[in-house]
A and B are shown apart, each in its own frame.
Chain A
């Protein structure tokens, strides 16, 4: 019985390990080929590089305007995520602590709106914001992410705030603390784990989003990383080396963050699904 179980778990380990290797091979192939010459890539995409072509990286870096794209993506993602966190938490808190019929219905309405697909909104969105001359601006895009991201944030915060006893808040208010100060000094710190969860879900989405920024940010200087990768591919289709390098450059920042914050990221996704 004991031996049988050990054999079973060894077999399971091997199967999982093979699956994992299969899962990660695409990344490995990308890394290998990003360092090779074009001729070597086309003649044998599985071979190890014989000489390291770092020029692929400098090429891609320059031609996709990496620094600009990276900065744009950081700014858009950071501001969107911060806004979604603060505004979502405040709104959810208000809804939980003031359960009037209007607030409850607004909350349900926001939750229900989550089934609206982006495709049903994109055409009027471009038309409305275009006629207001508000396209091609990072600020508009950040505002839109707040609009699209707030429902889920309010929903998740709402579930968590319900479980917080309100006595502490009431005591602070009786002591003459203003509502806003009370929120930021007492409630928001308690919400940190939930905020991390919501932040992670939103970073994964906003950092990699393509369709919305492609509709809003028309000028090349405004491009985010996915947009500039896409346009680099469109103009540069013969030389595989720089193309592979551009993909590596696009995923590198996320992978580096993932190596350090992996535990939190996986936990964040777990928490986000349970609520």
Chain B
């Protein structure tokens, strides 16, 4: 590429093109991230100017905080169920909607709908459904499982989060799988049909292996969203009943901003980062290994 003449000209162009982006990126993401690591070694209360260094004491508190670990375990369970079920449903929908079906655009548009709406609103809508609509149905039609609100039951409240999450994201992942499926070349499908492969064999032996990139993207996105979920948790269950649905993101928020235990809260956020980073990198590493070329 031909460049500008002279050091100052080059610097000016560089700053013009990359300056604003990099300045925002550094001051919003990187500096707070690094400063956050420093905060984990202090006992800052959120108000005072001083933040005395306390060494690894906060990390000790993280490991002793049984609520953190129970909310982390709950989050892992939540992530496991939502990632698997969302992706299975999304793939099936995409598979059904790439074969010629009447009105497939209407179907795609409809299944995608929940993604337009933020977690706050979705949580309130489903709170109404679980508390009023399903209870009404349960009592009128004597369906035992719905006769009392799921949101008031510590065992069932967790599943409301799983159900709403699947409902919200299946359409989004479906769109990504549709993109992947349409990318599978038709000629090799035909060649396989001529060789006598049935549709099940084609799906398992050809389509799915060739769609590994889509699976990587979808698993990455659903893992990330699963670990980060906050809005839905806040408005659907508020972490209740009796703290039975407090996912880790909500726990970190509570620890820092409500208990004013910023050092420990930040240490928990950092531990969360490390665990999520390891899980995500492992996922990407192993799925990359499975990728095949057409």
Q: B28, A148: Cβ atoms under 8 Å?
A: yes
Contact indicator A179/B273 (Cβ below 8 Å)? no
Given contacts A20-B110, A128-B32, contact A174 B27 (CB under 8 A): no
A119 in contact with B252 given A16-B97, A258-B116 (CB within 8 Å): yes
CB distance from A68 to the nearest CB of B (A): 17
Q: CB-CB contacts of A27-71 with B at 8 A, as 1s and 0s?
A: 101100100000001101110000000000000000000000000
Bitwise, B255-294 to A at CB < 8 A (1) or not (0) is: 0100000100110011011001100110000000000000
Residue ID in chain B nearest A42 by CB atoms = B132
**Residue A230 is within 8 A (CB to CB) of chain B in the complex:** yes
Of B13-21, B58-66, B152-160, B185-193, the one contacting chain A is: B13-21
B128 pairs with A240, CB closer than 8 A: yes
- B6 within 8 A of partner (CB): no
Whether A123 contacts B25 by the Cβ 8 Å rule is: no
A44-B167 Cα distance, complex, nearest whole Å: 24
By beta carbon, the residue of chain B nearest A257 is B116
B36 contacts A46, C-beta separation under 8 Å: no
Assess whether B109 is interfacial by the CB under 8 Å rule: yes
Task: Report the nearest B residue to A33, measured CB to CB.
Answer: B128
Chain B residues contacting A150 (CB-CB under 8 Å) are: 21, 24-25
Docked pose: A207 CA to B183 CA in angstroms: 31
Q: Closest CB of chain B to A39's CB: distance in Å?
A: 13
User: A93 and B17: CB pair below 8 A?
Assistant: yes
Once the chains are docked, how many angstroms separate the CA of A86 from the CA of B265?
36
**Per DSSP, are chain A's interface residues mostly helix, strand or loop, or mixed?**
helix
Residue ranges of A at the interface with B (Cβ–Cβ < 8 Å): 9, 12-13, 15-16, 19-20, 23-24, 26-27, 29-30, 33, 41-42, 44-46, 83, 87-88, 90-91, 93-95, 97-98, 106, 110, 113, 115-125, 127-128, 143-144, 146-148, 150-151, 154, 166, 169-170, 173-174, 179-180, 183, 204, 207-211, 226, 229-230, 233, 240, 243-244, 247, 250-251, 254-255, 258, 262-263, 265-266, 269-271, 273-274
Q: List 18 A-B contacts (CB under 8 A).
A: A16-B93, A20-B107, A26-B125, A27-B125, A30-B125, A44-B136, A94-B17, A106-B18, A119-B252, A119-B272, A120-B33, A123-B256, A123-B265, A125-B28, A127-B44, A170-B2, A208-B117, A226-B118
B-side residues, CB < 8 A to A, are 1-4, 13-14, 16-18, 20-22, 24-33, 35-36, 39, 44, 93, 96-97, 99-102, 105-121, 124-126, 128-129, 132-133, 136-137, 167, 171-172, 175-176, 178-179, 183, 214, 217-218, 224, 227-228, 230-231, 234-235, 249, 252-253, 256, 262, 265-266, 269-270, 272-273, 276-277, 280-281
